[in-house]
């Protein structure tokens, strides 16, 4: 069996293991098709290519990691993407999550606080032909107000509390998918839905472990 198929099988299996937490047995088939398509090996460093399709995180330098495939698939599913959606990602890292999102939605904006990572991810995504992704270097705590409001926001770093600008930049009915909790321990993956009256609904999905969301512009 090829490595990419093994990765898809691992994701499906982990979805089944966590079905009570995530409330479903399978993920959106469009999300799984994107996981099958995006060349994950191009997003991990040369030295870690042998782990490109393993269902675990991989170091990408600067103390950061590309998230495990299951988590990328789950977060993409939880944001409830539609073909015409514009999605904001906070924490570009390698650009892999942005590429998966770009396969299922119309437009992706992604913010990365580590400048060399932002530059490398932008270049990589352009080389791979992703014309519907824009990467910016900056503090994603503040979102990317120029393109707001968004049909969904995915934060791939753990925040001690929910950044208010991100909730502000959601359209009514849109979702924010974010790990909430102190770094160094486990965090609570939450789905925050903004209701039509601007109030929010919080769903606790499952325990996760992400690198911290820093806030240098505070």
Give the Å distances, CA to CA, from 202 to 19, 174, 188, 193.
19, 12, 11, 6
Give the separation between CA 73 and CA 67, rounded to whole angstroms: 10
CB 195 → ligand SAH: shortest distance, Å? 26
Give the separation between CA 23 and CA 21, rounded to whole angstroms: 6
Write the binding mask 152 to 191 for ligand SAH: x where contact by CB under 6 A, - elsewhere: ----xx----------------------------------
Q: How far is CA 25 from the centre of its chain?
A: 20
CB 197 → ligand SAH: shortest distance, Å? 29
Write the binding mask 105 to 134 for ligand SAH: x where contact by CB under 6 A, - elsewhere: ------xxxx--x-----------------
* Catalytic status, residue 67: yes
User: Which residue among the candidates 67, 85, 94, 110 is catalytic per the annotation?
Assistant: 67
Our CB check for ligand SAH shows the closer of 185 and 199 to be 185
User: Which range in 11-19, 90-98, 127-135, 178-186 contacts ligand SAH by CB under 6 A?
Assistant: 90-98
CB 109 → ligand SAH: shortest distance, Å? 12
User: Which range in 101-109, 125-133, 139-147, 197-205 contacts ligand SAH by CB under 6 A?
Assistant: 139-147
Our CB check for ligand SAH shows the closer of 16 and 126 to be 126
146-171 CB burial, b ≥16 within 10 A, e <16: eebbbbbbbbbbbbeebbeebbebbe
With beta carbons less than 8 A apart as the criterion, state whether 98 and 135 touch.
yes
85 makes contact with ligand SAH (CB under 6 A): no
With beta carbons less than 8 A apart as the criterion, state whether 121 and 93 touch.
yes
* Catalytic site positions: 67
Point out which residues bind ligand SAH (CB under 6 A). Answer: 64-67, 90-91, 93-94, 96-97, 111-114, 117, 139-141, 156-157, 211, 213-215
């Amino acid at each position: 069996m090829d490595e990419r198929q093994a990765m898809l099988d691992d994701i499906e299996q982990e979805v089944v293991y966590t079905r009570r937490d995530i409330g479903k047995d399978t993920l959106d088939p469009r999300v799984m098709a994107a996981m099958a398509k995006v060349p994950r090996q191009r997003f991990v460093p040369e030295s870690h290519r042998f782990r490109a399709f393993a269902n675990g995180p991989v170091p990408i330098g600067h103390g950061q990691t590309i998230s495990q495939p299951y988590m990328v698939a789950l977060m993409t599913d939880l944001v409830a993407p539609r073909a015409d959606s514009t999605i904001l990602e906070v924490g570009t890292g390698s650009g892999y999550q942005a590429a998966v999102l770009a396969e299922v939605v119309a437009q992706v904006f992604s913010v990365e606080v580590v400048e060399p990572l932002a530059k490398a991810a932008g270049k990589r995504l352009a080389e791979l032909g992703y014309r519907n992704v824009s990467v910016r270097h900056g503090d994603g705590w503040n979102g990317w107000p120029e393109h707001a409001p968004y049909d969904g926001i995915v934060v791939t770093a753990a925040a001690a509390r929910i950044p208010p600008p991100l909730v502000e930049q959601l359209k009514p009915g849109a979702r924010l998918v974010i790990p909430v909790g102190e770094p160094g321990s486990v965090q609570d993956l939450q789905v925050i839905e903004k209701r039509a009256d601007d109030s929010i609904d919080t769903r606790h999905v499952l325990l996760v472990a992400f690198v911290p969301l820093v806030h240098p512009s505070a």
